[in-house]
Amino acid sequence: MNILGVKIGFGLVIAIGLSALVFLIIVFSTFQRPPEKQVQIGYRGVGMVEVFHPSTVAAELASNQVPPPDDKLDPSGQKSSEAYMNVQVLKDLDSNEFLRLMNAITTWVAPQQGCVYCHDQENMASDALYTKVVARRMLQMVANINGNWTTHVGTVGVTCYTCHRGNPVPQNIWFNNPRSSEPHGLSQDKLAKNYASPVVDMSSLPNDVLSDYLDHSDEIRVIGGSALPDGNRHSIKQAEWTYGLMVHMSESLGVNCVFCHNSRAFSVWDQSTPQRVTAWYGIRMVRDLNTQYLDPLTKTFPAYRLGPTGDGPKLECGTCHNGVYKPLFGVSMLPDYPELASISQTASAAAPSAAPPAEAAPTAPANQ
Protein backbone atom coordinates (compact mmCIF):
# COMPACT_ATOMS: atom_id res chain seq x y z
CA MET A 1 0.00 0.00 0.00
CA ASN A 2 1.19 3.54 -0.76
CA ILE A 3 0.34 6.26 1.80
CA LEU A 4 1.73 9.80 1.16
CA GLY A 5 4.30 8.29 -1.13
CA VAL A 6 5.55 5.84 1.52
CA LYS A 7 5.22 2.16 0.89
CA ILE A 8 3.58 0.50 3.90
CA GLY A 9 2.90 -3.19 4.30
CA PHE A 10 -0.66 -4.41 4.86
CA GLY A 11 0.34 -5.99 8.18
CA LEU A 12 1.57 -2.64 9.47
CA VAL A 13 -1.74 -0.97 8.58
CA ILE A 14 -3.62 -3.63 10.55
CA ALA A 15 -1.20 -3.25 13.49
CA ILE A 16 -1.69 0.53 13.55
CA GLY A 17 -5.47 0.12 13.29
CA LEU A 18 -5.52 -2.38 16.16
CA SER A 19 -3.34 -0.16 18.39
CA ALA A 20 -5.67 2.78 17.73
CA LEU A 21 -8.65 0.59 18.66
CA VAL A 22 -7.00 -0.60 21.89
CA PHE A 23 -6.10 3.02 22.73
CA LEU A 24 -9.68 4.15 22.22
CA ILE A 25 -11.06 1.26 24.31
CA ILE A 26 -8.68 2.17 27.16
CA VAL A 27 -9.61 5.85 26.96
CA PHE A 28 -13.36 5.25 26.88
CA SER A 29 -13.43 2.53 29.52
CA THR A 30 -11.15 4.16 32.08
CA PHE A 31 -11.85 7.89 31.77
CA GLN A 32 -15.15 9.51 32.64
CA ARG A 33 -16.81 11.67 30.07
CA PRO A 34 -16.95 15.42 30.79
CA PRO A 35 -18.54 17.61 32.01
CA GLU A 36 -17.67 17.13 35.66
CA LYS A 37 -18.75 19.32 38.55
CA GLN A 38 -16.11 20.78 40.84
CA VAL A 39 -16.99 21.68 44.40
CA GLN A 40 -14.60 23.90 46.32
CA ILE A 41 -14.31 22.75 49.93
CA GLY A 42 -11.42 24.81 51.30
CA TYR A 43 -10.29 28.42 51.23
CA ARG A 44 -10.00 30.01 47.80
CA GLY A 45 -6.67 29.28 46.16
CA VAL A 46 -5.65 26.24 48.22
CA GLY A 47 -6.90 23.82 45.57
CA MET A 48 -9.16 21.83 47.88
CA VAL A 49 -11.66 20.68 45.28
CA GLU A 50 -13.89 17.60 44.99
CA VAL A 51 -14.72 16.44 41.48
CA PHE A 52 -18.15 14.89 40.94
CA HIS A 53 -19.48 13.33 37.76
CA PRO A 54 -23.21 13.99 37.32
CA SER A 55 -23.83 10.50 35.90
CA THR A 56 -22.10 8.82 38.88
CA VAL A 57 -23.97 11.03 41.36
CA ALA A 58 -27.31 10.24 39.64
CA ALA A 59 -26.57 6.49 39.88
CA GLU A 60 -25.58 6.84 43.56
CA LEU A 61 -28.73 8.81 44.35
CA ALA A 62 -30.85 6.11 42.72
CA SER A 63 -29.20 3.29 44.71
CA ASN A 64 -29.30 5.18 48.02
CA GLN A 65 -33.04 5.68 48.43
CA VAL A 66 -34.64 4.90 51.78
CA PRO A 67 -37.43 2.26 51.66
CA PRO A 68 -40.87 3.67 52.63
CA PRO A 69 -41.69 3.12 56.33
CA ASP A 70 -44.51 0.77 57.41
CA ASP A 71 -47.72 2.39 58.73
CA LYS A 72 -47.79 3.01 62.47
CA LEU A 73 -49.86 0.56 64.54
CA ASP A 74 -52.04 1.52 67.50
CA PRO A 75 -50.21 0.59 70.69
CA SER A 76 -51.47 -2.53 72.44
CA GLY A 77 -50.58 -1.10 75.85
CA GLN A 78 -48.59 -4.25 76.66
CA LYS A 79 -44.82 -4.44 76.89
CA SER A 80 -43.05 -6.94 74.63
CA SER A 81 -41.45 -8.64 77.63
CA GLU A 82 -44.98 -9.42 78.89
CA ALA A 83 -46.55 -10.27 75.53
CA TYR A 84 -43.78 -12.60 74.30
CA MET A 85 -41.67 -15.32 75.85
CA ASN A 86 -38.06 -14.59 74.97
CA VAL A 87 -37.51 -10.87 74.47
CA GLN A 88 -34.18 -9.74 75.90
CA VAL A 89 -33.39 -6.40 74.25
CA LEU A 90 -36.65 -4.78 73.13
CA LYS A 91 -38.30 -5.52 76.50
CA ASP A 92 -39.95 -2.13 77.05
CA LEU A 93 -41.21 -1.67 73.49
CA ASP A 94 -44.99 -1.84 73.00
CA SER A 95 -45.84 -5.31 71.65
CA ASN A 96 -47.53 -3.91 68.52
CA GLU A 97 -44.61 -1.61 67.75
CA PHE A 98 -42.41 -4.66 68.26
CA LEU A 99 -44.21 -6.49 65.43
CA ARG A 100 -43.97 -3.40 63.20
CA LEU A 101 -40.21 -3.36 63.84
CA MET A 102 -39.97 -7.12 63.07
CA ASN A 103 -41.64 -6.36 59.73
CA ALA A 104 -39.17 -3.56 59.01
CA ILE A 105 -36.18 -5.72 60.01
CA THR A 106 -37.39 -8.35 57.56
CA THR A 107 -37.54 -5.75 54.75
CA TRP A 108 -34.13 -4.38 55.67
CA VAL A 109 -32.22 -7.63 56.22
CA ALA A 110 -34.01 -10.64 54.71
CA PRO A 111 -36.77 -9.54 52.30
CA GLN A 112 -36.51 -12.70 50.16
CA GLN A 113 -36.36 -15.16 53.05
CA GLY A 114 -38.88 -13.53 55.42
CA CYS A 115 -39.39 -14.17 59.14
CA VAL A 116 -38.01 -17.72 58.83
CA TYR A 117 -34.52 -16.36 58.13
CA CYS A 118 -34.24 -15.80 61.90
CA HIS A 119 -37.20 -17.75 63.31
CA ASP A 120 -38.22 -21.34 63.77
CA GLN A 121 -41.82 -21.01 62.49
CA GLU A 122 -43.12 -23.52 65.06
CA ASN A 123 -41.62 -21.63 67.97
CA MET A 124 -40.90 -17.92 67.51
CA ALA A 125 -39.28 -17.74 70.96
CA SER A 126 -36.59 -20.29 70.06
CA ASP A 127 -32.98 -19.08 69.63
CA ALA A 128 -32.02 -22.14 67.57
CA LEU A 129 -31.06 -20.21 64.44
CA TYR A 130 -27.71 -18.38 64.60
CA THR A 131 -29.21 -15.54 62.57
CA LYS A 132 -31.55 -14.63 65.45
CA VAL A 133 -28.69 -14.62 67.95
CA VAL A 134 -26.67 -12.36 65.63
CA ALA A 135 -29.71 -10.12 65.00
CA ARG A 136 -30.23 -9.61 68.75
CA ARG A 137 -26.61 -8.51 69.12
CA MET A 138 -27.10 -6.25 66.08
CA LEU A 139 -30.00 -4.54 67.90
CA GLN A 140 -27.62 -3.78 70.77
CA MET A 141 -24.95 -2.61 68.33
CA VAL A 142 -27.38 -0.19 66.65
CA ALA A 143 -28.37 1.12 70.10
CA ASN A 144 -24.69 1.64 70.91
CA ILE A 145 -24.07 3.51 67.63
CA ASN A 146 -27.12 5.77 67.95
CA GLY A 147 -26.73 6.33 71.70
CA ASN A 148 -22.98 6.53 72.29
CA TRP A 149 -21.42 7.53 68.96
CA THR A 150 -23.26 10.77 68.16
CA THR A 151 -19.77 12.26 67.74
CA HIS A 152 -19.83 10.43 64.41
CA VAL A 153 -23.42 9.66 63.39
CA GLY A 154 -24.95 12.83 64.86
CA THR A 155 -28.73 12.68 65.18
CA VAL A 156 -28.96 11.03 61.75
CA GLY A 157 -28.00 7.69 63.27
CA VAL A 158 -28.31 4.28 61.63
CA THR A 159 -30.83 1.45 61.22
CA CYS A 160 -30.23 -2.10 59.99
CA TYR A 161 -30.89 -0.78 56.47
CA THR A 162 -27.85 1.55 56.55
CA CYS A 163 -25.59 -1.51 56.29
CA HIS A 164 -27.80 -4.34 55.04
CA ARG A 165 -29.73 -2.69 52.17
CA GLY A 166 -31.97 -5.74 51.78
CA ASN A 167 -29.13 -8.31 52.07
CA PRO A 168 -28.49 -10.72 54.97
CA VAL A 169 -24.75 -10.08 54.45
CA PRO A 170 -23.93 -6.39 53.88
CA GLN A 171 -22.17 -5.64 50.60
CA ASN A 172 -18.99 -4.27 52.18
CA ILE A 173 -17.49 -6.55 54.81
CA TRP A 174 -13.92 -7.76 55.27
CA PHE A 175 -11.74 -10.51 56.72
CA ASN A 176 -8.08 -10.61 57.73
CA ASN A 177 -5.86 -11.23 54.70
CA PRO A 178 -3.46 -14.14 55.14
CA ARG A 179 -0.07 -12.41 55.41
CA SER A 180 2.78 -14.86 55.24
CA SER A 181 1.37 -17.93 53.56
CA GLU A 182 3.96 -17.64 50.78
CA PRO A 183 7.73 -17.30 51.11
CA HIS A 184 8.64 -13.66 51.12
CA GLY A 185 11.04 -12.26 48.62
CA LEU A 186 11.19 -9.22 46.42
CA SER A 187 7.42 -9.10 46.16
CA GLN A 188 7.17 -8.36 49.90
CA ASP A 189 4.42 -10.94 50.44
CA LYS A 190 5.10 -10.75 54.15
CA LEU A 191 3.76 -7.21 54.12
CA ALA A 192 0.71 -8.33 52.18
CA LYS A 193 1.87 -5.93 49.50
CA ASN A 194 1.88 -6.00 45.72
CA TYR A 195 -1.38 -7.80 45.29
CA ALA A 196 -3.94 -5.74 43.41
CA SER A 197 -6.48 -5.53 46.21
CA PRO A 198 -9.80 -3.66 46.20
CA VAL A 199 -9.16 -2.85 49.89
CA VAL A 200 -6.58 -0.26 48.75
CA ASP A 201 -8.16 0.56 45.37
CA MET A 202 -5.91 -1.85 43.42
CA SER A 203 -2.75 0.03 44.46
CA SER A 204 0.45 -1.73 45.56
CA LEU A 205 -0.04 -0.58 49.15
CA PRO A 206 -0.35 -3.18 51.95
CA ASN A 207 -3.77 -4.82 51.69
CA ASP A 208 -4.25 -5.90 55.30
CA VAL A 209 -4.50 -2.36 56.69
CA LEU A 210 -8.01 -2.87 58.02
CA SER A 211 -6.99 -5.45 60.62
CA ASP A 212 -4.30 -3.15 62.03
CA TYR A 213 -6.32 0.05 62.11
CA LEU A 214 -10.00 -0.91 62.24
CA ASP A 215 -9.82 -4.01 64.45
CA HIS A 216 -6.60 -3.39 66.40
CA SER A 217 -5.67 0.17 67.38
CA ASP A 218 -2.30 0.64 65.68
CA GLU A 219 -0.78 4.13 65.47
CA ILE A 220 -1.89 5.96 62.30
CA ARG A 221 0.35 9.04 62.72
CA VAL A 222 3.56 8.98 60.69
CA ILE A 223 4.58 12.61 60.09
CA GLY A 224 7.11 14.18 62.46
CA GLY A 225 6.48 17.45 64.28
CA SER A 226 9.43 19.31 62.72
CA ALA A 227 11.45 19.40 59.51
CA LEU A 228 14.50 17.94 61.25
CA PRO A 229 14.79 14.36 62.49
CA ASP A 230 13.70 14.81 66.10
CA GLY A 231 12.89 11.38 67.36
CA ASN A 232 10.14 10.46 64.89
CA ARG A 233 10.88 6.75 64.37
CA HIS A 234 8.07 6.09 61.89
CA SER A 235 9.41 4.30 58.82
CA ILE A 236 8.39 4.44 55.17
CA LYS A 237 6.80 1.04 55.73
CA GLN A 238 4.55 2.46 58.41
CA ALA A 239 3.70 5.38 56.14
CA GLU A 240 2.64 2.90 53.46
CA TRP A 241 0.23 1.28 55.89
CA THR A 242 -1.23 4.67 56.84
CA TYR A 243 -1.62 5.56 53.16
CA GLY A 244 -3.32 2.21 52.55
CA LEU A 245 -5.92 3.08 55.20
CA MET A 246 -6.37 6.59 53.78
CA VAL A 247 -6.95 5.25 50.26
CA HIS A 248 -9.47 2.83 51.71
CA MET A 249 -11.32 5.59 53.60
CA SER A 250 -11.42 7.84 50.53
CA GLU A 251 -12.80 5.03 48.35
CA SER A 252 -15.41 4.04 50.93
CA LEU A 253 -16.72 7.62 51.01
CA GLY A 254 -16.32 8.35 47.28
CA VAL A 255 -14.11 11.38 47.96
CA ASN A 256 -10.47 12.38 47.54
CA CYS A 257 -7.90 13.30 50.20
CA VAL A 258 -8.80 17.00 50.36
CA PHE A 259 -12.27 16.13 51.65
CA CYS A 260 -10.49 15.90 55.01
CA HIS A 261 -6.96 17.25 54.52
CA ASN A 262 -5.27 20.32 53.15
CA SER A 263 -2.70 18.27 51.24
CA ARG A 264 0.10 20.80 51.85
CA ALA A 265 0.14 19.56 55.46
CA PHE A 266 -1.65 16.23 55.94
CA SER A 267 -1.06 16.04 59.67
CA VAL A 268 -2.05 19.56 60.73
CA TRP A 269 -5.50 19.58 62.33
CA ASP A 270 -6.26 23.30 62.13
CA GLN A 271 -5.78 23.22 58.36
CA SER A 272 -8.00 20.15 57.98
CA THR A 273 -11.74 20.20 57.33
CA PRO A 274 -14.32 19.45 60.08
CA GLN A 275 -14.96 16.17 58.26
CA ARG A 276 -11.53 14.96 59.39
CA VAL A 277 -12.65 15.18 63.01
CA THR A 278 -15.83 13.23 62.18
CA ALA A 279 -13.61 10.66 60.48
CA TRP A 280 -11.31 10.51 63.56
CA TYR A 281 -14.31 9.51 65.68
CA GLY A 282 -15.43 7.17 62.89
CA ILE A 283 -12.16 5.21 63.14
CA ARG A 284 -12.66 4.80 66.93
CA MET A 285 -16.31 3.83 66.43
CA VAL A 286 -15.46 1.13 63.88
CA ARG A 287 -12.81 -0.29 66.24
CA ASP A 288 -15.39 -0.38 69.03
CA LEU A 289 -17.99 -2.11 66.83
CA ASN A 290 -15.53 -4.72 65.55
CA THR A 291 -14.01 -5.56 68.93
CA GLN A 292 -17.19 -5.40 71.03
CA TYR A 293 -19.76 -6.85 68.61
CA LEU A 294 -18.44 -8.55 65.46
CA ASP A 295 -15.30 -10.30 66.82
CA PRO A 296 -17.13 -11.90 69.79
CA LEU A 297 -19.73 -13.29 67.33
CA THR A 298 -17.06 -15.31 65.46
CA LYS A 299 -18.06 -18.52 67.29
CA THR A 300 -21.76 -17.89 66.60
CA PHE A 301 -21.28 -17.71 62.82
CA PRO A 302 -21.26 -20.99 60.87
CA ALA A 303 -17.95 -21.96 59.24
CA TYR A 304 -19.08 -20.86 55.77
CA ARG A 305 -19.39 -17.28 57.00
CA LEU A 306 -15.78 -17.15 58.27
CA GLY A 307 -12.71 -15.79 56.45
CA PRO A 308 -9.65 -17.64 55.10
CA THR A 309 -7.87 -17.43 58.47
CA GLY A 310 -10.95 -18.49 60.44
CA ASP A 311 -11.84 -14.97 61.60
CA GLY A 312 -15.38 -13.62 61.56
CA PRO A 313 -16.84 -10.97 59.22
CA LYS A 314 -16.03 -7.37 60.18
CA LEU A 315 -17.25 -3.93 59.20
CA GLU A 316 -15.45 -0.89 57.79
CA CYS A 317 -16.31 2.63 56.65
CA GLY A 318 -17.95 1.39 53.45
CA THR A 319 -20.30 -0.97 55.32
CA CYS A 320 -22.42 2.09 56.24
CA HIS A 321 -21.18 4.63 53.66
CA ASN A 322 -21.37 2.44 50.53
CA GLY A 323 -19.26 4.85 48.48
CA VAL A 324 -21.10 8.01 49.58
CA TYR A 325 -19.75 10.72 51.93
CA LYS A 326 -22.88 10.47 54.10
CA PRO A 327 -24.72 7.12 54.22
CA LEU A 328 -28.01 7.39 52.30
CA PHE A 329 -26.96 11.00 51.56
CA GLY A 330 -27.65 11.98 55.16
CA VAL A 331 -31.34 10.97 55.27
CA SER A 332 -32.31 9.75 58.76
CA MET A 333 -34.67 6.77 59.14
CA LEU A 334 -34.86 7.17 62.92
CA PRO A 335 -37.94 9.48 63.06
CA ASP A 336 -39.97 6.51 61.72
CA TYR A 337 -38.31 3.99 64.06
CA PRO A 338 -37.40 6.02 67.18
CA GLU A 339 -37.09 2.81 69.25
CA LEU A 340 -33.73 2.16 67.53
CA ALA A 341 -32.37 5.34 69.11
CA SER A 342 -33.90 4.93 72.55
CA ILE A 343 -32.82 1.42 73.58
CA SER A 344 -29.33 2.66 74.40
CA GLN A 345 -29.62 1.70 78.07
CA THR A 346 -29.62 -1.94 76.97
CA ALA A 347 -26.30 -1.66 75.13
CA SER A 348 -23.79 -3.49 77.25
CA ALA A 349 -20.67 -1.89 75.76
CA ALA A 350 -19.13 0.93 77.77
CA ALA A 351 -19.55 4.47 76.47
CA PRO A 352 -16.58 5.59 74.38
CA SER A 353 -14.16 7.75 76.31
CA ALA A 354 -11.72 8.64 73.52
CA ALA A 355 -11.36 12.26 72.42
CA PRO A 356 -9.50 13.64 69.39
CA PRO A 357 -5.90 14.84 69.84
CA ALA A 358 -5.51 18.03 71.87
CA GLU A 359 -4.40 20.00 68.83
CA ALA A 360 -7.66 19.11 67.06
CA ALA A 361 -9.35 22.47 66.88
CA PRO A 362 -10.47 22.60 63.28
CA THR A 363 -12.15 25.74 62.06
CA ALA A 364 -14.82 25.42 59.40
CA PRO A 365 -13.36 26.44 56.05
CA ALA A 366 -15.37 29.24 54.46
CA ASN A 367 -16.44 28.54 50.90
CA GLN A 368 -15.42 31.69 49.12
Query: Taking CB under 6 A as the criterion, which residues in 322-361 touch ligand HEC?
Result: 325-327, 330
Encoded one letter per residue, x for contact with ligand HEC by CB under 6 A and - for no contact, window 247-286 reads: x-xx--x-x-x-xxx----xx-------xx-xxx-xx--x
Position 295, amino acid = D
**Nearer to ligand HEC by C-beta: 54 or 330?**
330
**Buried/exposed 9-38: b ≥16 CB within 10 Å, e otherwise:** eeeeeeeeeeeeeeeeeeeeeeeeeeeeee
Q: Under the criterion CB under 6 A, does residue 154 sit at the interface with ligand HEC? A: yes
Footprint on residues 283-302 left by ligand HEC (CB under 6 A): 283, 286, 294
Q: Under the criterion CB under 6 A, does residue 162 sit at the interface with ligand HEC? A: yes
**Nearer to ligand HEC by C-beta: 82 or 182?**
82
Q: How far apart are CA 43 and CA 25, in angstroms?
A: 38
**Nearer to ligand HEC by C-beta: 23 or 268?**
268
Residues 6+ apart with CB under 8 A from 312: 175, 294, 295, 297, 298, 301, 305, 306
Q: Are 305 and 312 in contact (CB under 8 A)?
A: yes
Position 219, amino acid = E
Q: From the list 44, 221, 237, 264, which residue makes contact with ligand HEC (rule: CB under 6 A)? A: 221
35 cis-preceded (ω within 30 degrees of 0): yes
Footprint on residues 183-212 left by ligand HEC (CB under 6 A): none
First to last CA, the chain: 60
Q: From the list 43, 52, 84, 195, which residue makes contact with ligand HEC (rule: CB under 6 A)? A: 84
Q: From the list 134, 192, 205, 209, which residue makes contact with ligand HEC (rule: CB under 6 A)? A: 134
Q: From the list 41, 48, 89, 205, which residue makes contact with ligand HEC (rule: CB under 6 A)? A: 89
Q: From the list 206, 313, 362, 365, which residue makes contact with ligand HEC (rule: CB under 6 A)? A: 313
Q: From the list 192, 205, 210, 246, which residue makes contact with ligand HEC (rule: CB under 6 A)? A: 246
Q: How many CB atoms lie within 10 A of CB 54?
A: 12
Q: How far apart are CA 200 and CA 194, in angstroms?
A: 11
Q: From the list 41, 90, 199, 209, which residue makes contact with ligand HEC (rule: CB under 6 A)? A: 90
